[in-house]
Structure 1
Amino acid sequence: MPASWGLFLCNCRKTLPLDPEKLILPTAPSVLTAASEPKSQAPEFAARIERERPDRVLVSCCAEQKLFDEALAGSGPQPPKVQFLNLRESCFLPHLDDPDRAHAKATRLLRAAMESVETNETPVYNSLKVGANVVIAGEGLKAKDLATKLRDTIRPILVFPASQATADKAGSGQAYTGKVVEVHGRLGDFHVTIEDGGNGEKNRRELKAAQVVVISPDGSFPCKPRTGCHLLAHPGEADLDRVAERIHELTGDFLKPVQVTYNTEVCAGGSAEQEACGVCITACPYEAISRDPENHLRMKVDHMACEGCGACVSACPTSALRFTEPSPQDLYARLAALLAPSSGKSDGEAWTILFYCGEQGKRALEAAGRKPLPYAATVLPVEVPCLRYVSEANMLEAFRLGAAGVALLGCESCQHGERELLYQKSDLSRLVLDAFALGSERLRLFTADTGMEAEAIGALSSFANALKPAPIRWDGRPMREQGNREVIAGAIATFIEQTGREAGQRSLEPSQPFAFADVEESGCTMCRSCVNVCPVHAFRLEESTSSLQFKHISCIGCGLCETVCPEKVISLKRAIYLERDALEYQTVAQDSMVSCLQCGKPYINRKALEAVEARVLSLGSLLDTFSGSRRGLLRMCPNCRAVAAMLEVDKGWKP
């Protein structure tokens, strides 16, 4: 039974052209308040909620969330889940000149918000204690100034450059001479390596701290910024005040959310004592993922070190790593709600899915809503923690669901580092779009810097306005799987079906985790080595047809099959095949079965038997074992062979 809803829709004292009758929602709300004065009408709304008892509540209002939290707190022993949505800044202010499209967009944003409440998972937290020890390294006067600002509650550990040490260490408490050369760890547990080059010798010392501040006169730093690691380039007084405040905020006891879950069952980290995939390790900019010391074929996630950028989730080809917010279920439910036709049929609009980061991308959209900065009403925003979270599966699924374009809006200079992973995912998505003649120009990356929000929003709007209607129509089929490979396979299948073309092979760069296993059938003995070692089950042995089968879309190109193949008849080709056959298991080698000489049951394929006989009989030490009446032992199934061997022993044979 679908959940019942209570909706509070505010037109901000009649300054917005919001008309609830123009909104097409998936279910009629049991409580609907079209408000103009939120302060006076919020208590009335809460009273209706208490009487009608809807399962969920959605509020769209520019008033503070606290107003509704307090009003709804008394609505029974179990207040309904509340979702907040700012239609004022996301729809109506930037699109005042086009109220019809603003309402169409509002319909989709409301549907997505309602879906989000249904798919949200209960967060899990870990306890985190952050002590008061803070390493402050760099320019002496600035370091001492910051230490002074922190002296009431923080225990600073100062590190001065050798040139300033004599003058600056005096009266500084715990202080060292040298420079910071390495910083490892995470908030609450940093390990800071300092190097002192005095007397012509380089001596290293490790300091432990809960937080770190590095002050650089030229903007060069020995580490990346992360929570609790503050990097300052020639800071002014305001910068020092800001960092001091942030250090105080991060000191104490906290509950840190678990942002990534890990499923060992689908991880392709290795198999049969052979290490395979490990792309998540190199993708993480914070050393939060490593091979598990207790099982080197699997990974270990340091949830305390995780900064929640999502790079590992995008990199993982099997979706063994999954983000918690947004989870795959939440993200894909949002996309479907945003792109599904409002009235059951296409409205002819060229809708653009905009993945935007929670930093500069979010600030640019907020600026567009506040100023306002008009932009295309066909842009449907989807927030992600960082653009590196967005995978090729996310992009291609948006197109499968009917998006005319996909845009990415993020920071000009990402705090999490380089975007090479995002470029790889975008390149693959463009390759697939071009292969089906859908147009790689439908995917675009935009960046915004502080003070440049208007330019970024303008470029985004021009992109969206230039798009023609979607080349792919959503077929209405629900998603069954949310793993990256399954989503990609579903998108390719839809593209084949709706374009009427199979695009064939496309070569890929070595960094792309797709490959085709070329098996030389004449030399394959179907020994199962590739089947046993493949971590993603791209190979299987079909007993009923005595055939070795390969599923191309599942292959991540780890190379284990090449390594373990005793006949050396497997070679990997870094490519993707955009064909129906590539989405299912296909026979790559087949053989006839040999029946047991005794019981007549098939027990081994012919090529495997011939290979075993050739190897065994080539060993001089075993010639007597399989001679005379015992020559047929290898032609028997294991059960009959054991019985026949025991009968030979009874006759006096000594194995």
Structure 2
Amino acid sequence: MPLDPKALGAALDEDLTTHTTLCRRDAAAFQRASRSGDELVVACTQESRLFTELSQQTEGAVPLDVRPIRFVNLRETGGWGREAKAATPKMAALLAAARLPDPEPVPTVSYQSEGRLLIVGPLDAAERIAAQLADALQVTVFAQGGRGQQARAWPVLGGQLGAIQGWLGAFEVEWSSTNPIDLDLCTRCNACVAACPEGAIGLDYQIDLDRCQSHRACVQACEAVGAINFQRDAVPHRDRFDLVLDLRDAPAFVQHAPPQGYFHLPGGLRHDKGLETLVRLREMVGEFEKPKFFTYNHKLCAHGRNETVGCDACISVCSAQAIRSEVERQQIAVNPNLCVGCGACTTVCPTGALGFAYPRASEQGNRLRTVLSTYAKAGGKEAAVLLHSQTAGSELIEALGREAVLRPKAIKGVPARVIPLPLWHTASVGLDVWLSAFAYGASQVWVLMTDEEAPQYREALREQMAVAQAIVSGLGYAGTHFRLIEARDAATLDVQLASPPAQGVKRRASYAVQREKRATMELALDHLLQDSAAHPRAVDAVPLPAASLFGAVNVNKDACTLCLSCVSACPANALLDNAERPQLRFVEKNCVQCGLCATTCPEDAITLQPRLLLTEQRRQPRVLNEAQPYACVRCGKPFGTLKGVELMLGKLAGHAMFQGEALERLKMCGDCRVVDIYSNPNESRITDH
């Protein structure tokens, strides 16, 4: 791996000493570094375990909880490949990123497991697995056919299985005992099996009632034990378990990301992940914590108003079914126990009501700004940021680096201009971070997806990337800047990464990514508008795809009565009234295209127009509709619109309750209407109700 210590040191403003065989032969150099109080970065992830243990065993080394060792992979991400000699700027950028502080701590979600495991499936397969786990877990088997063992080493349940709900440490399982044989009482003596003339009793010790001819020979054979009773009523049961292992072909949870603590293993130990699953189950006893990955600000949420649903993007994209609608409370609710931290909900949220908390968008933005500024300082050009998962994505990139060494004629390796950056999940960053990366100097932003992502994540990211691409293309930047890369093997990824660069910004941005998504996007758009001022533009408004969170509201003036129900429904203050006169005004900058206004409008007079307006008018209120006010016939004060009052009079003129003086009162303001009622005491007041 070619290294240029001077160039790397210049980019990082430090003097660097390079140890080319540090793993073993130069271990003493690492031990000396571990005793110092300086930051310690190891540019290799393969031997992270070795270095960690070596530091712990070195006398006088700074404790890891005081000064952690930071690891970064320079070898497979750039040092191995055809362009390795040109990868110094990328190496400097990755080293700079590795030195950044860890993300700020966030609240955690706790799970408590005592090891109560329910195994559901064929009795023979379930009991084979139970035998492997009974020494570590409290096993219960729910039999679904199969052949049982003679020994009764653990509880066996049977009957009609109902719902399985919950998560690690808190699974609620419902079933009803519908079979005449009580498995808790059954001794598995097989007397009933031998006695049944129809062969209706299997070695799962349950009776096939469709085959049973009511000879009741089994009852006589089991008389001493009393485990068989055909008169037994179906009894509902409910119990709580910490873990669930499901051996059935159809899983209890159909979502892409099942709850933590639930394992689906069709075929039992024959499954290719059978041994791995057993090992994981044995480890899941005790108290566990995970970050609370999301933040939620219901004041920004565009999900619903007045029991009308507008935006439900987060509910649709969630692969764990952790988000539900609470439209009666004008918000959504996220179950932190079910949330797996994919962050897709925050990516599709148009307002930023849902935010990804660990790491925060501001921390991701700081990392991108550090990486791209260091890359440019070291002489790098036309950077392409490759965002990937820290699990399957990292493994695929490492495989590409190794293949570049093993098959140099066939595999190029990671190009020098491509900077891989791992994420907790590829769906956890979206338009605000992508546009900021472009503004910071990345000519392209790519997201790598492998087999681990849910299908809805891919579609959501494609839609959001189409919005990002439409924006920068509309601003005059040539080329393809945002792309979803799908690859499952090194050869495919190698081809995908060999894409030509695109036109980037002339001046790199320096703003910081904000906590609020819309604020960050406004900073990015402001910078790109200024930077692209010299680019030719054919239009003042860039058309955007339907998934856009920018756009206009169009009003059919002939249909609109200025009832202003859309104003009360708008969660973003994009639609406004006017206290001085009947007007509907609109601030396009605030619009999130949630559609609540269109859904609420009783006249169906509103349509959405996804676009990005490039003129200053985007920030200014403009009138969408206005009408001549209707003046009170008694005092002359305006109290409604001429069109609205005339429409009301036309609809109520033939009604028996609105004749004569009652109809005339409809032409008065509220104050004059009350005065008129009390000035005519002999008239029935119900007509004015």
1:244 and 2:230 equivalent? Answer: no
Correspondence list, 1:469-484, <5 A: 470-479=503-512, 481-484=514-517
Whether 1:356 aligns to 2:388 is yes
CA distance in 1, matches of 2:340, 2:402: 29
The match for 1:462 is 498
Aligned to 1:3: none
Q: Provide the aligned length of Structure 1 versus Structure 2.
A: 607
Contact 2:432 2:517 in 1 (8 A): yes
- Alpha-carbon distance in structure 2 between the residues aligned to 1:632 and 1:221: 61
CA distance in structure 1 between the aligned counterparts of 2:114 and 2:359, rounded to whole angstroms: 31
| 2:366 alignment partner, SS class | helix
Change (3 A) 1:412 1:179: farther
User: Are the counterparts in 1 of residues 33 and 40 from structure 2 also a CA contact under 8 Å?
Assistant: no
Q: Secondary structure at the match of 2:316?
A: helix
**Separation in 2, partners of 1:198, 1:590:** 74
* Equivalent pair of 2:548/2:611 in contact (CA under 8 Å): no
Could you tell which deviates more after superposition, 251-260 or 272-281?
272-281
Q: Report the equivalent of 1:534.
A: 570
How many Å separate the matches in 2 of 1:358 and 1:61?
16
The 8 Å contact of residues 489 and 583 in structure 1, kept in 2 or not, is answered as no
Measure, in 2, the Cα distance between the counterparts of 1:220 and 1:647. 68
Q: Secondary structure at the match of 1:332?
A: helix
How far off is 1:354 after superposition?
A: 0.7
Q: Please give the alpha-carbon distance, in whole angstroms, between the structure 2 residues aligned to 1:652 and 1:142.
A: 87
Match of 1:109 in 2: 94
| Distance change in 2, residues 1:653/1:475 (3 Å) | farther
What is the CA distance between 1:45 and its match in structure 2?
Answer: 4.6
User: Of 322, 341, 349, which aligns to 1:316?
Assistant: 349
Could you tell me how far apart the structure 1 residues matched to 2:30 and 2:241 are?
Answer: 47
CA distance in 1, matches of 2:358, 2:69: 15
Q: Indicate yes or no: 2:584 matched with 1:548.
A: yes
Structure with the higher strand share, 1 or 2: 1
Q: 2:245 aligns with which of 197, 209, 213?
A: 213
> Residue 75 of structure 2 aligns with which residue?
89
Q: 2:168 aligns with which of 187, 204, 211?
A: 187
The aligned counterpart of 2:41 is 59
- Matching residue of 1:12: none
1:325 and 2:358 equivalent? Answer: yes
User: Does the aligned pair in 2 maintain the 1:361–1:448 contact within 8 Å?
Assistant: no
Corresponding residue for 1:151? 134
Structure 1 distance, partners of 2:389, 2:569, is 38
Amino acid aligned to 1:338: V
- Structure 2 partner of 1:253: 287
Equivalent residue, structure 2, for 1:624:
661
**Given the superposition, is the C-alpha separation of residues 70 and 653 from structure 1 closer, same or farther in structure 2, using an over 3 Å criterion?**
farther
Residue 312 (structure 1) shift: 1.5
Taking a change above 3 Å as real, the CA distance of residues 611 and 271 of structure 1, as seen in their structure-2 partners, is: farther
**Given residue 105 of structure 1, which amino acid in structure 2 is its aligned partner?**
K
Distance in 2, matches of 1:18 and 1:612, equals: 80
* C-alpha spacing 1:613/1:183, structure 2 compared with 1 (3 Å): closer
In the alignment, is the contact (CA less than 8 A) between 2:461 and 2:484 conserved in 1?
no
Q: Does 1:424 align with 2:463?
A: yes
- Classify the secondary structure of the residue corresponding to 1:255: strand
Question: CA 1:652/1:230 → structure 2, altered by over 3 Å: closer, same or farther?
Answer: closer
User: Is the partner of 1:265 in helix, strand or coil?
Assistant: helix
2:377 matched to 1:365? no
Amino acid at match of 2:166: G
Within 1, Cα distance between the matches of 2:398 and 2:317?
30
* One-letter amino acid matched to 2:464: K
- For the Cα contact (< 8 Å) 2:245–2:265, is it kept in 1? yes
CA spacing shift, 1:648–1:553, aligned 2, 3 Å: closer
State which of 360, 369, 372 in structure 2 corresponds to 1:336: 369
* Cα pair 1:493 1:580 within 8 Å, conserved: no
Task: Report whether the alignment pairs 1:296 with 2:329.
Answer: yes
Aligned counterpart for 2:152 among listed residues 171, 177, 197: 171
Q: Give the SS at the match of 1:335.
A: helix
TM-score (norm. length: structure 1): 0.76
Question: Would you say 1:277 and 2:311 are equivalent positions?
Answer: yes
* SS in structure 2 of the partner of residue 329 of structure 1: helix
Checking the alignment, whether the CA contact within 8 Å between 1:94 and 1:368 is kept in structure 2 is: no
1:443 aligns with 2:453: no
8 A Cα contact 1:396 1:491, kept in partner: yes
CA distance in 1, matches of 2:255, 2:644: 58
Distance 2:561 2:287 in 1: 61
Q: Relative contact order (alpha carbons < 8 A, sep ≥ 6): 1 or 2 greater?
A: 2
Q: C-alpha separation between the residues in 2 aligned to 1:558 and 1:183?
A: 35
Contact kept, 8 Å, 2:100 with 2:367, in 1: the verdict is yes
Name the stretch that deviates more: 151-160 or 582-591.
582-591
Kept in 1: contact 2:439–2:505 (CA 8 A): yes
Whole-Å separation in 2 of the counterparts to 1:74 and 1:596: 86
Deviation of 1:266 (Å): 0.9
Asked whether 1:128 is paired with 2:111, we answer yes
1:376 maps to 415
Contact 2:649–2:663 under 8 Å retained in 1:
no
Q: CA RMSD in A?
A: 4.6
| Local SS of the residue matching 1:253 | strand
The Cα of 1:410 is off from its aligned counterpart by 2.4
Deviations 1:386-413 (CA, angstroms, capped at 9, x unpaired): 3333434443443333322222222235
Residues in 1 aligned to 2:513 and 2:457: alpha-carbon distance in whole angstroms: 34
1:402 aligns with 2:384: no
Structure 1 distance, partners of 2:59, 2:622, is: 58
SS at match of 2:278: helix
For 1:548, what is the secondary structure of its paired residue? strand
| Residues 1:305 and 2:347 aligned together | no
SS of residue in 1 equivalent to 2:329: strand
Offset at residue 616 of structure 1 (A): 11
> Highest CA radius of gyration, 1 or 2?
2
Summarize deviations over 1:107-159 as a string: whole Å, max 9, x none: 32244345554xx2222213310132222233554432321111112122224
Larger mean Cα displacement after TM superposition, 217-226 or 230-239: 217-226
SS at match of 1:313: helix
1:287 equivalenced with 2:321 (yes/no): yes
**1:507–1:342 Cα change, 3 Å:** closer
Equivalent AA in structure 1 for residue 131 of structure 2: T
Measure, in 2, the Cα distance between the counterparts of 1:504 and 1:212.
Answer: 54
- Paired with 1:605 and 1:375, the residues of 2 have a C-alpha distance of 67
Question: Residue 459 of structure 1: CA displacement?
Answer: 2.2
Gaps of 5+ in 1: 1-14
Residue type of the partner of 1:86? V
Aligned partners of 1:61 and 1:87 also within 8 Å: yes
2 CA distance for matches of 1:272 and 1:219?
38
Distance 1:547 1:418, change over 3 A: closer
Distance change in 2, residues 1:493/1:599 (3 Å): farther
Please tell me the residue identity of whatever aligns with 2:386.
L
Amino acid aligned to 1:279 = A
More moved, 382-391 vs 252-261: 382-391
* Larger mean Cα displacement after TM superposition, 273-282 or 240-249: 273-282
CA distance in 1, matches of 2:174, 2:590: 43
Q: Distance in 2 between matches of 1:360 and 1:603?
A: 66
Segment drifting more, 310-319 vs 90-99: 90-99
5 Å-filtered alignment, 1:639-654, equals: 641=671
CA apart distance, 1:66: 5.2
CA distance in 1: counterparts of 2:581 and 2:675, whole angstroms = 33
Contact preservation (8 Å) 1:24, 1:342: no
Deviation at residue 515 of structure 1 after TM alignment: 5.8
**2 CA distance for matches of 1:525 and 1:448?**
54
Percent of aligned positions that are identical: 20
Q: CA deviation at 1:378?
A: 1.1
Residues 83 and 416 in structure 2, CA contact (< 8 A), matched pair in contact too: no
Residues 276, 297 of structure 1: 8 Å contact kept: no
Letter in 2 for 1:17: L
Which residue in 2 is equivalent to 1:228?
261
